Amino acid sequence: MDLSIGEVAERSGLSVHALRFYEREGLFANPVRRLPNGRRIYHEEDLEWLAICTKLRSSGMSLAMIRQYVELVRQGPGNELERLELLRRHESDVEAQIGELREALDVMRHKVRIYEDHVARGEADRLWNPSHRDAARTGPHQECRPSEGA
- Domain positions in the chain are 1-76, 84-150
Residues listed for the chain: 150
Long-range contacts of 13-17 (CB under 8 A, 24+ apart): 13/54, 14/50, 14/54
User: Could you tell me the end-to-end alpha-carbon distance of the chain, in angstroms, rounded to an integer?
Assistant: 57
Q: What is the 3-state secondary structure (H, E, C) of 12-77?
A: HCCCHHHHHHHHHCCCCCCCCEECCCCCEEECHHHHHHHHHHHHHHHCCCCHHHHHHHHHHHHHCC
Looking at CATH, the fold of the domain delimited by 1-76 is given as Multidrug-efflux Transporter Regulator; Chain: A; Domain 2 (1.10.1660)
pTM of the model: 0.73
Q: Distance between CA atoms of 87 and 18, rounded to whole angstroms?
A: 23
Reported confidence tier of residue 20, pLDDT bands at 50, 70, 90: very high
Beta bridge partners of 34: 40
- pLDDT, tens digit, for every residue of 88-135? 999 999 999 999 999 999 999 999 999 999 999 998 887 876 665 554
User: Are 28 and 49 contacting, i.e. CB atoms less than 8 angstroms apart?
Assistant: yes
Residue 35 predicted with pLDDT over 80 = yes
What per-residue confidence (pLDDT) applies to 131?
Answer: 62
